[in-house]
Amino acid sequence: MRLRDMLAPIGHFFYPPICPGCEGAVGRGGGLCPGCWSDLAFIERPFCEILCLPFETDHGPGAVSPAAMAEPPAFGRLRAAVIHRDLGARLVSLLKYGDRTDLAPLMAGWMARAGADLLAEAELVVPVPLHRGRLFRRRFNQSADLARRVAGAAGLAYRPLILARVKATRPQVGLGGAARRRNLQGAFAVAKGRRAEIEGRRILLVDDVFTTGTTVSSAAAVLRRAGAAGVDVLTFSRVAQAGA
Protein backbone atom coordinates (compact mmCIF):
# COMPACT_ATOMS: atom_id res chain seq x y z
CA MET A 1 0.00 0.00 0.00
CA ARG A 2 1.31 3.45 -0.90
CA LEU A 3 2.04 5.93 1.88
CA ARG A 4 -0.49 8.36 0.43
CA ASP A 5 -3.22 5.74 0.68
CA MET A 6 -2.24 4.91 4.24
CA LEU A 7 -2.41 8.55 5.30
CA ALA A 8 -5.67 9.33 3.47
CA PRO A 9 -7.98 8.41 6.42
CA ILE A 10 -6.00 10.75 8.69
CA GLY A 11 -6.32 13.57 6.16
CA HIS A 12 -10.07 12.99 5.86
CA PHE A 13 -10.41 13.17 9.64
CA PHE A 14 -8.86 16.63 9.83
CA TYR A 15 -10.10 17.82 6.42
CA PRO A 16 -13.30 15.90 5.63
CA PRO A 17 -14.32 15.93 1.95
CA ILE A 18 -16.98 18.47 1.06
CA CYS A 19 -19.24 18.96 -1.93
CA PRO A 20 -17.87 21.73 -4.18
CA GLY A 21 -21.41 22.88 -4.87
CA CYS A 22 -22.88 23.38 -1.40
CA GLU A 23 -19.88 22.65 0.84
CA GLY A 24 -21.83 19.92 2.60
CA ALA A 25 -20.14 16.69 3.68
CA VAL A 26 -19.69 13.95 1.07
CA GLY A 27 -18.34 10.45 1.26
CA ARG A 28 -15.23 11.12 -0.81
CA GLY A 29 -13.31 14.07 -2.18
CA GLY A 30 -13.91 15.27 -5.70
CA GLY A 31 -17.59 14.35 -5.74
CA LEU A 32 -20.95 16.09 -5.50
CA CYS A 33 -23.73 15.49 -3.03
CA PRO A 34 -26.98 14.05 -4.50
CA GLY A 35 -28.72 17.43 -4.36
CA CYS A 36 -26.01 19.27 -6.28
CA TRP A 37 -25.65 16.41 -8.74
CA SER A 38 -29.29 16.82 -9.70
CA ASP A 39 -28.68 20.58 -10.15
CA LEU A 40 -26.26 19.99 -13.03
CA ALA A 41 -27.73 19.90 -16.52
CA PHE A 42 -25.43 17.48 -18.34
CA ILE A 43 -25.62 17.68 -22.13
CA GLU A 44 -26.61 14.37 -23.68
CA ARG A 45 -27.73 13.41 -27.16
CA PRO A 46 -29.79 14.32 -29.08
CA PHE A 47 -27.96 17.57 -29.83
CA CYS A 48 -26.63 19.54 -32.80
CA GLU A 49 -23.47 17.76 -33.94
CA ILE A 50 -21.77 21.09 -34.67
CA LEU A 51 -22.84 23.42 -31.84
CA CYS A 52 -23.80 20.86 -29.16
CA LEU A 53 -27.21 22.54 -28.80
CA PRO A 54 -29.64 20.09 -27.15
CA PHE A 55 -32.64 19.07 -29.25
CA GLU A 56 -36.05 18.48 -27.71
CA THR A 57 -36.61 15.58 -30.12
CA ASP A 58 -34.22 13.21 -31.86
CA HIS A 59 -33.64 14.28 -35.47
CA GLY A 60 -31.42 11.33 -36.30
CA PRO A 61 -27.66 10.81 -36.58
CA GLY A 62 -25.62 13.84 -37.63
CA ALA A 63 -28.46 16.33 -37.13
CA VAL A 64 -27.44 19.99 -37.36
CA SER A 65 -29.26 22.95 -35.83
CA PRO A 66 -30.58 25.92 -37.84
CA ALA A 67 -28.09 28.13 -35.98
CA ALA A 68 -25.15 26.07 -37.26
CA MET A 69 -26.49 26.09 -40.81
CA ALA A 70 -27.20 29.83 -40.79
CA GLU A 71 -23.75 30.79 -39.53
CA PRO A 72 -21.23 27.93 -39.73
CA PRO A 73 -18.46 28.40 -37.14
CA ALA A 74 -14.75 28.51 -37.88
CA PHE A 75 -14.31 25.27 -35.93
CA GLY A 76 -15.59 21.83 -36.86
CA ARG A 77 -17.53 20.61 -33.81
CA LEU A 78 -18.20 21.71 -30.26
CA ARG A 79 -18.71 19.50 -27.25
CA ALA A 80 -19.56 20.73 -23.74
CA ALA A 81 -20.23 18.85 -20.53
CA VAL A 82 -23.04 20.90 -18.98
CA ILE A 83 -25.44 23.76 -19.64
CA HIS A 84 -24.09 27.05 -18.27
CA ARG A 85 -26.62 27.74 -15.53
CA ASP A 86 -27.13 27.14 -11.82
CA LEU A 87 -24.35 24.96 -10.42
CA GLY A 88 -22.65 24.60 -13.82
CA ALA A 89 -22.16 28.36 -14.03
CA ARG A 90 -21.14 28.55 -10.37
CA LEU A 91 -18.40 25.94 -10.81
CA VAL A 92 -16.93 27.94 -13.69
CA SER A 93 -17.00 31.11 -11.60
CA LEU A 94 -15.37 29.38 -8.63
CA LEU A 95 -12.59 28.00 -10.80
CA LYS A 96 -11.99 31.21 -12.71
CA TYR A 97 -12.37 33.84 -9.99
CA GLY A 98 -12.50 31.96 -6.67
CA ASP A 99 -9.10 30.25 -6.74
CA ARG A 100 -10.87 26.86 -6.60
CA THR A 101 -8.29 25.03 -8.68
CA ASP A 102 -9.29 21.87 -6.80
CA LEU A 103 -12.38 21.79 -9.03
CA ALA A 104 -10.35 21.37 -12.22
CA PRO A 105 -9.94 17.56 -12.02
CA LEU A 106 -13.68 17.03 -11.55
CA MET A 107 -14.62 19.41 -14.35
CA ALA A 108 -11.97 18.07 -16.72
CA GLY A 109 -13.22 14.52 -16.13
CA TRP A 110 -16.72 15.49 -17.23
CA MET A 111 -15.26 17.32 -20.23
CA ALA A 112 -13.26 14.26 -21.30
CA ARG A 113 -16.44 12.19 -21.20
CA ALA A 114 -18.42 14.76 -23.18
CA GLY A 115 -15.66 15.15 -25.78
CA ALA A 116 -14.71 11.51 -26.18
CA ASP A 117 -15.47 11.51 -29.91
CA LEU A 118 -13.34 14.62 -30.46
CA LEU A 119 -10.47 13.31 -28.34
CA ALA A 120 -10.44 10.11 -30.39
CA GLU A 121 -9.54 12.14 -33.50
CA ALA A 122 -7.39 14.90 -31.96
CA GLU A 123 -3.61 15.00 -32.12
CA LEU A 124 -2.91 18.13 -30.07
CA VAL A 125 -4.75 19.79 -27.19
CA VAL A 126 -4.43 23.58 -27.10
CA PRO A 127 -6.03 25.91 -24.52
CA VAL A 128 -7.48 29.31 -25.35
CA PRO A 129 -4.72 31.59 -24.03
CA LEU A 130 -4.94 34.65 -21.81
CA HIS A 131 -3.13 37.88 -22.55
CA ARG A 132 -0.03 38.15 -20.38
CA GLY A 133 -1.49 41.14 -18.52
CA ARG A 134 -4.63 39.26 -17.54
CA LEU A 135 -2.63 36.15 -16.74
CA PHE A 136 -0.47 38.21 -14.37
CA ARG A 137 -3.53 39.59 -12.59
CA ARG A 138 -5.42 36.29 -12.41
CA ARG A 139 -2.28 34.18 -11.74
CA PHE A 140 -3.46 31.19 -13.77
CA ASN A 141 -5.35 30.30 -16.93
CA GLN A 142 -8.32 28.12 -16.06
CA SER A 143 -8.65 26.93 -19.66
CA ALA A 144 -5.03 25.78 -19.65
CA ASP A 145 -5.55 23.87 -16.40
CA LEU A 146 -8.58 22.09 -17.83
CA ALA A 147 -6.83 21.41 -21.15
CA ARG A 148 -3.77 19.92 -19.45
CA ARG A 149 -5.92 17.49 -17.49
CA VAL A 150 -8.06 16.55 -20.48
CA ALA A 151 -4.94 15.89 -22.57
CA GLY A 152 -3.37 13.82 -19.81
CA ALA A 153 -6.47 11.68 -19.40
CA ALA A 154 -6.60 11.00 -23.14
CA GLY A 155 -2.85 10.49 -23.60
CA LEU A 156 -2.62 13.38 -26.06
CA ALA A 157 0.07 16.00 -26.57
CA TYR A 158 -0.64 19.18 -24.61
CA ARG A 159 0.66 22.33 -26.32
CA PRO A 160 -0.18 25.46 -24.28
CA LEU A 161 2.30 27.74 -26.04
CA ILE A 162 1.30 27.22 -29.67
CA LEU A 163 -1.37 29.91 -29.60
CA ALA A 164 -0.76 33.35 -28.08
CA ARG A 165 -3.13 36.15 -27.13
CA VAL A 166 -1.24 39.13 -28.48
CA LYS A 167 -3.88 41.80 -27.94
CA ALA A 168 -5.35 42.86 -24.61
CA THR A 169 -9.12 42.81 -25.13
CA ARG A 170 -11.89 44.06 -22.91
CA PRO A 171 -14.14 41.42 -21.27
CA GLN A 172 -16.75 40.04 -23.66
CA VAL A 173 -19.56 40.13 -21.09
CA GLY A 174 -22.25 42.59 -22.13
CA LEU A 175 -21.02 43.01 -25.71
CA GLY A 176 -23.20 42.27 -28.72
CA GLY A 177 -22.14 39.97 -31.52
CA ALA A 178 -20.57 42.62 -33.75
CA ALA A 179 -18.81 44.25 -30.78
CA ARG A 180 -17.45 40.88 -29.69
CA ARG A 181 -15.97 40.26 -33.14
CA ARG A 182 -14.39 43.72 -33.27
CA ASN A 183 -13.00 43.22 -29.78
CA LEU A 184 -11.23 40.02 -30.83
CA GLN A 185 -9.85 41.17 -34.19
CA GLY A 186 -6.14 40.42 -34.16
CA ALA A 187 -6.29 39.05 -30.62
CA PHE A 188 -4.74 35.65 -31.38
CA ALA A 189 -1.62 34.60 -33.24
CA VAL A 190 0.46 31.46 -33.65
CA ALA A 191 3.57 31.76 -31.51
CA LYS A 192 6.81 32.37 -33.37
CA GLY A 193 8.41 29.17 -34.56
CA ARG A 194 5.42 26.95 -33.71
CA ARG A 195 3.66 26.82 -37.09
CA ALA A 196 5.29 23.51 -38.04
CA GLU A 197 3.62 21.85 -35.04
CA ILE A 198 0.20 22.85 -36.37
CA GLU A 199 0.42 22.03 -40.07
CA GLY A 200 -1.62 18.98 -40.98
CA ARG A 201 -2.61 18.22 -37.38
CA ARG A 202 -6.06 17.89 -35.84
CA ILE A 203 -6.34 20.24 -32.87
CA LEU A 204 -8.71 20.22 -29.92
CA LEU A 205 -9.15 23.77 -28.62
CA VAL A 206 -10.19 23.93 -24.95
CA ASP A 207 -11.99 26.75 -23.13
CA ASP A 208 -14.10 26.94 -19.98
CA VAL A 209 -17.38 28.37 -21.37
CA PHE A 210 -19.02 28.67 -24.79
CA THR A 211 -21.39 31.62 -25.06
CA THR A 212 -21.64 33.09 -28.56
CA GLY A 213 -18.57 31.23 -29.79
CA THR A 214 -16.75 34.41 -30.85
CA THR A 215 -13.62 33.67 -28.83
CA VAL A 216 -13.11 30.06 -29.90
CA SER A 217 -14.06 30.89 -33.51
CA SER A 218 -11.40 33.62 -33.61
CA ALA A 219 -8.79 31.28 -32.17
CA ALA A 220 -9.82 28.41 -34.46
CA ALA A 221 -9.59 30.62 -37.54
CA VAL A 222 -5.99 31.49 -36.68
CA LEU A 223 -5.09 27.82 -36.25
CA ARG A 224 -6.74 26.89 -39.52
CA ARG A 225 -4.91 29.63 -41.40
CA ALA A 226 -1.69 28.24 -39.95
CA GLY A 227 -2.41 24.91 -41.61
CA ALA A 228 -4.31 22.85 -39.02
CA ALA A 229 -6.12 19.92 -40.64
CA GLY A 230 -9.08 20.55 -38.38
CA VAL A 231 -10.04 22.34 -35.17
CA ASP A 232 -12.70 21.12 -32.76
CA VAL A 233 -13.69 22.76 -29.47
CA LEU A 234 -14.27 21.33 -26.01
CA THR A 235 -15.63 23.42 -23.11
CA PHE A 236 -16.92 22.68 -19.66
CA SER A 237 -20.22 24.50 -20.21
CA ARG A 238 -22.22 26.21 -22.90
CA VAL A 239 -25.20 28.55 -22.79
CA ALA A 240 -28.53 26.94 -23.47
CA GLN A 241 -29.22 28.75 -26.74
CA ALA A 242 -27.03 29.82 -29.63
CA GLY A 243 -26.19 33.49 -29.51
CA ALA A 244 -27.18 33.86 -25.85
Question: pTM of the full predicted structure?
Answer: 0.87
CA 35 to chain centre: 24
Quickly state the pLDDT bin for 7 (edges 50, 70, 90).
very low
Instruction: Give a yes or no: residue 97 inside a domain.
Output: yes
User: What are the residues facing 231 on neighbouring strands?
Assistant: 203
Instruction: Give a yes or no: residue 45 inside a domain.
Output: no
Question: Is residue 48 within 8 Å of residue 240, measured between CB atoms?
Answer: no
Instruction: Give a yes or no: residue 32 inside a domain.
Output: no
Question: Is residue 33 within 8 Å of residue 22, measured between CB atoms?
Answer: yes
Q: What CATH number did the domain enclosing 122 receive?
A: 3.40.50.2020
> Which residue range(s) make up the domain with 110?
76-238
- The predicted pLDDT at position 12 comes to 42
How many domains is the chain built from? Answer: 1
Instruction: Give a yes or no: residue 5 inside a domain.
Output: no
Mean pLDDT of 71-94: 96
Which residues fall within 8 angstroms of residue 244, CB to CB, at 6 or more apart? 211, 212
The predicted-structure confidence for 38-67, as pLDDT tens digits, reads as follows 889 999 999 999 999 999 999 888 999 999
Of the candidate ranges 127-141, 158-172, 225-239, the one whose mean pLDDT is the lowest: 127-141
Instruction: Give a yes or no: residue 159 inside a domain.
Output: yes
